[in-house]
Amino acid sequence: MTCQFCKQKDATVHLTQIVENEVKKVDLCEACAKEKGVNDPAGFSLADLLLGLGASQQIEEASEAKGGGLRCATCGYTQADFKKSGRLGCSDCYDVFADGLDPLLKPMHKGIRHKGKVPGPLRRETDLNQQLLSLEKDLQGAIAREDFERAAQLRDQLKVVRSAAKP
Amino acid sequence: MNILEFLISPAEASQRTGPNDRIVFSSRVRLARNLKSHPFPGHAKKADRIKAYEILFPAIRSLPQMGPEPFAESLEKLTALDKQILVERHLVSREHAAKGAGSGLILNREETLSVMINEEDHLRMQSLRPGLQLRQAWLSIDAVDSDLETRLDISFSDKYGYLTACPTNLGTGIRVSAMLHLPGLVLGEQINQIIQAVNKLGLAVRGLYGEGTEALGNIFQVSNQMTLGESENEILERINKVLLQLVEHEENARQTLLEKKPKVLFNHIGRAYGVLANAHTVSSKETMNLLSLLRLGVDIGMFAQTPKALVDELFLISQPAHLQLNHPDREKLAAEDRDIFRADLLRARMKSVPTPHEPATPSSEPSV
């Protein structure tokens, strides 16, 4: 069995931990085990178990690039908390810890951009913005063509959409 | 309101039917949602958790989809037995059952919609359907979600979609799963191969109660793992396709056993009947495995007059909390006494099941 982390040396350290009723197993070589602090099970990062090996390192590197010690202003969550639990503190944390996220998400998901449902109020906003954009484009085209009758129609439509777009 | 009075009885619950329910027990779609800028439950202090709870609880209770009289309660009002019963019915997660003040449950009359407040996320909303009905389950929870987001400020990012406490649920926040009974694949020793193949498609295969649980009674739960970068419909289609294939593989495996190793199969089922009808002490684990064989026997026509619903009811009432509920004292039984009581109950109920006989024309069984 090779080490799950460096994938080179033989795994000699086998760690089994129960994380929220789920059995997590990690097999490491001695060097990697030491580096990851496995000798001290309490110090072993949950992020690695939950999010995959190397996760805690990525979180750390991203934070250091920003000068270290990132902290969410909304909920007080720190980069160390993230590393320890593998979870975030609140929705605003996703902005605070944004830099380390993409490499973390890549192996976990199909992509790193959301596809699918968008909340209703936002959906409406997006639709209206798109309508506005296309109407404005049409209006400019009509003016350039000196089709003033069409331009007047478009101007009226724009007025309606603009007032709807305002909350 | 008492949850034990609210819940549909095991006998009634087992009467529910759905497409492909010979093999697929149930379908479930769960959504994870959070309030904007409120700390996630795992990080929130008690006061923050209660603040979020007080926003969420009335909003969900008044949803038209939950019906006029949903069960709506804080978890601190439920006893340990109540919670365990809910876990055994798959209406709350084991994680949620461990929570108390500041966490809650809202459940509709039909038990098809269940919303957990302050689980790992502020909201874990699930829709349950008997048999293979993923689309119906999705449509019903989608309607709940769409209505709710007009009432609540739900956290959403253009890039990452719905924001969740754990990055593994990010994006759609959807978990689509089905509970399958696969004794044919287990007896035919094909199950490991199948699990590996399903894993390769990015789907997880787990035991009866989700993460980290054993596949007791040949019951497996299949669910998606990835939630970001794929739309709800793509996820649903993909998993539905795999489930239909699993159903086909299971039917084929049963057919092969009937043709090639009928004696082995009848022996397993006959012995299961013997133990269930005559044992004086039997563990929960053994019971699950025996009932799985009994259900297989019913499916292939070895028990002429026995409805599948009876076996499903026995599955439910031999679980520890349901057993305790049935006991005249309702006191927490020691494991030994529970095994004796379980055997007593099974012997009594098995009286209505005739001794098994070899199915007349095994090849006439429908294969999907």
Three-class SS of residue A18? strand
A60 pLDDT higher than 90: no
Cα–Cα distance between B180 and B301 in angstroms, integer? 20
Q: How far is B138 from chain A (nearest CA, A)?
A: 12
Average pLDDT over residues A54-74: 70
Q: Do B168 and A94 touch (CB under 8 A)?
A: no
Q: Rg of the Cα trace of chain B?
A: 21
Whole-number pLDDT of residue B269 = 97
Let me know: does A118 contact A107? Beta carbons within 8 Å: no
Q: Do A91 and B165 touch (CB under 8 A)?
A: no
- At B18, list the tokens: 């759905």
B135 pLDDT higher than 80: yes
Q: Do A105 and B170 touch (CB under 8 A)?
A: yes
Of B329 and B347, the one with more pLDDT: B347
User: A37: pLDDT confidence band, cut at 50, 70 and 90?
Assistant: low
Q: Do A114 and B160 touch (CB under 8 A)?
A: yes
Instruction: Kindly give, in sequence order, each residue whose CB lies less than 8 Å from that of residue B335, ignoring residues fewer than 6 positions away.
Output: none
Encode pLDDT of A114-129 as tens digits: 999 998 766 666 667 7
Whole-number pLDDT of residue A53 = 59
ipTM above 0.85, yes or no: no
Of B54 and A32, the one with more pLDDT: B54
Residue B258's alpha-carbon distances to A111, B289, B354, B364, in angstroms, are 44, 19, 21, 11
Question: Which candidate from B39, B95, B229 shows the least CB-CB separation from A109?
Answer: B229
Look at strands B123-130 and B113-117 and give their pairing: antiparallel
Let me know: does B292 contact B308? Beta carbons within 8 Å: no
Query: Which H or E element spans position A14?
Result: strand A13-19
Whole-number pLDDT of residue B355 = 92
Task: Spell out which residues of chain A touch residue B231, defining contact as CB-CB under 8 Å.
Answer: 115-117
Q: What is the dihedral of CA A103, B39, A18, B204, to 10 degrees?
A: -60
A61 pLDDT higher than 80: no
Q: Give which of B42, B286, B239 is closest to B134, Cα–Cα.
A: B239
Three-class SS of residue A106? coil
Mean per-residue pLDDT of chain A? 77
Q: How many CB pairs under 8 A join A and B?
A: 135
User: A42: pLDDT confidence band, cut at 50, 70 and 90?
Assistant: very low
B363 pLDDT higher than 60: no
Q: What whole-number percentage of chain B has pLDDT above 90?
A: 83
A8 pLDDT higher than 70: yes
Query: Which H or E element spans position B248?
Result: helix B232-260
Whole-number pLDDT of residue B362 = 47
Average pLDDT over residues A9-22: 67
Question: Which candidate from A18, A90, A122 shows the least CB-CB separation from B43?
Answer: A90
Whole-number pLDDT of residue A67 = 55
Cα–Cα distance between A40 and A44 in angstroms, integer? 7
CA B95 centroid distance within chain: 15
Q: How far is B209 from chain A (nearest CA, A)?
A: 11
Which of the residues B87, B152, B160, B231 would you substitute to probe the A interface, choosing the one with the greatest number of A C-beta atoms within 10 Å? Answer: B160
Of A9 and B247, the one with more pLDDT: B247
Q: Do B37 and A90 touch (CB under 8 A)?
A: yes
A39 pLDDT higher than 80: no
Specify the amino acid at residue B302: M
Look at strands A22-28 and A13-19 and give their pairing: antiparallel
Average pLDDT over residues B135-160: 93
Query: Scanning every residue of chain B, which has its alpha carbon at the shortest distance from the alpha carbon of A20?
Result: B95
Encode pLDDT of A73-112 as tens digits: 899 998 888 888 889 999 999 998 888 788 889 888 999 8
Three-class SS of residue B116? strand
Cα–Cα distance between B103 and B101 in angstroms, integer? 6
Question: Which candidate from B39, B149, B231 shows the least CB-CB separation from A119?
Answer: B149
Task: Spell out which residues of chain A touch residue B145, defining contact as CB-CB under 8 Å.
Answer: 117
Q: How many CA atoms lie within 13 A of B69 on its CB side?
A: 6
DSSP readout, B148-185? HTTTS-B-EETTTEE--SSGGGTBT-EEEEEEEE-HHH
Encode pLDDT of B299-326 as tens digits: 999 998 889 999 999 999 999 999 999 8
Q: How far is B326 from chain A (nearest CA, A)?
A: 28
Phi then psi for residue B350, to 5 deg, are -75, -10
Q: How far is A81 from chain B (nearest CA, A)?
A: 9
Encode pLDDT of B223-256 as tens digits: 999 999 999 999 999 999 999 999 999 999 999 9
Mean per-residue pLDDT of chain B? 92
